[in-house]
């Protein structure tokens, strides 16, 4: 069952396009990564999902409910961490949990304080006295305290130290293990790669990839470095179809492997190669290509 369903969603700000004809489905119980460079349309999509923006065209539903018209019903079961989190300066973890608990009609004190402990958050410290990382942790606690069926996180790790990032990942994995769903927006590939089952990449308001992390890994090219006997030899060798030379330095080629590894090994065995390095598939390079403007991308 799809928890999030976005069909042909477009949203523009006057003449500027926020997102255009976006189609996305997020299944129940998955951690869905939403990747893209700054200004690509990630936050616009999330704001439509949260009922803050009305779609210019297309539809967005969560749990089968319309994100604009039935937003308040959806929010009973959604935890949201905004990308640019601003909290009330007088909030403390304690008072925030009490007030949000009253609004949600749930007692958040117990689970909320457990979360606050996990994130090493002083429950009596006011937001105005908190560092940016502390505020981010409080935002995370408030997004997770009611154990929502869907958690929407917009750049959640900004301001968090590596230990807290790990703690956040553990929390999210626990939630997913209980059947909850996570919509995780980020511009950092490494955290999405670590955490997510499936990834959509958005660029200039359009989804340019929407696949499982494993399938993307299969598509990623290995980097290959080959050092030939000398520069003259290196220049005289014809580049095979399964290799793309990115850079040549003296007698060395730095390439992307477009084909399969055994093919490369067989070919290299017949060449005057002194040394060769084959790196693991790099999603980073794949995403760099996704992020590039259209005319530059493959």
Partner 1 sequence: MIAGLLRKTLRETWKPTLLFGMALFVVEALITAVLPTLQTGLNDILTTLPFIRTFIQALLGSDLGENITAQMLQSIAWVHPVVLAIVWAQEIVFCTRVPAGEIDRGTIDVLLSWPATRRRVLACEMAVGLASGAWLLAMGFAGNRLSEFASSAEAHPPTSRVFIVLVNLYCVYIAIGGLACFVSTMSDHAGRAMAVIFAIVLASFLLSFVAQFWRPAAQLLSLGILSYYKPAQILATGNVSWGDMALLATVGAILWLAACETFARRNICTV
Contact 207, 35 (CB under 8 A): no
Q: Is 105 in the site for partner 1 (CB under 8 A)?
A: yes
Is 88 a residue that touches partner 1 (CB under 8 A)? yes
CB of 88 to partner 1, least distance (A): 6
- Per DSSP, what are the bridge partners of residue 7? 59
> 103: burial class by Cβ within 10 Å (0-12, 13-18, 19+)?
exposed
Q: Which residues contact 262 (CB under 8 A, 6 or more apart)?
A: none
The smaller minimum CB distance to partner 1, of residues 96 and 255, is found at 96
**Residue 90 binds partner 1, judged by CB under 8 A:** yes
Taking the C-alpha atoms of residue 252 and residue 275, their distance in angstroms, rounded to an integer, is 9
Considering only residues 33, 36, 41, 51, which one is a binding residue for partner 1 as defined by CB under 8 A? 51
Using rule CB under 8 A, residue 248 touches partner 1:
no
> Dihedrals φ, ψ of 97, to 5°?
-65, -35
107 scored as a contact of partner 1 (CB under 8 A):
no
**Min separation Cβ 99 and partner 1, Å:** 5
> Who contacts 292 (Cβ-Cβ below 8 Å, separation ≥6)?
none
Q: Report the residue number, 88 or 129, with the smaller CB distance to partner 1.
A: 88
Span near partner 1 by CB under 8 A; candidates 75-83, 176-184, 233-241, 272-280: 75-83
59 lies in the site for partner 1, by CB under 8 A:
no
Return the number of other C-beta atoms located less than 10 Å from residue 232's C-beta.
9
Residues 6+ apart with CB under 8 A from 239: 245, 253, 255
Q: Is 100 in the site for partner 1 (CB under 8 A)?
A: yes
Interacting residue with partner 1 among 19, 62, 141, 142 (CB under 8 A): 142
The answer to whether 3 and 181 are in contact (CB under 8 A) is: yes
Is there binding between residue 95 and partner 1 (CB under 8 A)? Answer: yes
17, 52, 220, 268: which one binds partner 1 (CB under 8 A): 52
Which residues of this chain interact with partner 1, rule CB under 8 A?
Answer: 13, 43, 47, 50-54, 72-73, 75-76, 78-80, 82, 84-88, 90, 95, 99-105, 139, 142-143
């Amino acid at each position: 069952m799809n928890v999030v369903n976005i069909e042909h969603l477009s949203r523009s700000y006057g003449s500027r396009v926020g997102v255009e004809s976006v189609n996305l489905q997020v299944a129940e119980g998955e951690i869905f990564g939403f990747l893209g460079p700054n200004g690509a349309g990630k936050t616009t999509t999330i704001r439509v999902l949260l009922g803050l923006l009305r779609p210019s065209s297309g539809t967005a539903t969560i749990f089968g409910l319309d994100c604009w018209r039935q937003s308040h019903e959806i929010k009973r079961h959604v935890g949201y961490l905004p990308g640019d989190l601003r909290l009330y300066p007088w909030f403390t973890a304690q008072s925030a949990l009490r007030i949000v608990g009253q609004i949600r009609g749930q007692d958040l004190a117990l689970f909320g304080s457990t979360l606050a402990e996990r994130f090493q958050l002083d429950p009596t410290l006011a937001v105005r006295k908190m560092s940016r990382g502390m505020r981010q942790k409080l935002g995370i606690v408030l997004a997770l305290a009611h154990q929502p069926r869907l958690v929407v996180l917009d750049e959640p790790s900004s301001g968090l130290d590596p230990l807290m990032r790990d703690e956040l990942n553990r929390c999210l994995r626990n939630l997913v293990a209980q059947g909850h769903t996570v919509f995780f927006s980020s511009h950092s590939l490494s955290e999405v790669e670590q955490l997510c089952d499936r990834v959509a990449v958005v660029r200039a308001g359009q989804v340019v990839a929407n696949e499982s992390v494993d399938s993307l890994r299969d598509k990623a090219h290995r980097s290959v470095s080959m050092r030939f006997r000398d520069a003259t030899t290196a220049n005289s060798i014809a580049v095979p179809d399964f290799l793309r030379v990115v850079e040549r330095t003296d007698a060395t080629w730095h390439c992307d492997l477009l084909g399969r590894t055994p093919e490369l090994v067989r070919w290299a065995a017949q060449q005057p190669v002194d040394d060769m390095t084959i790196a693991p598939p790099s999603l980073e390079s794949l995403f760099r290509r996704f992020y590039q403007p259209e005319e530059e991308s493959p």
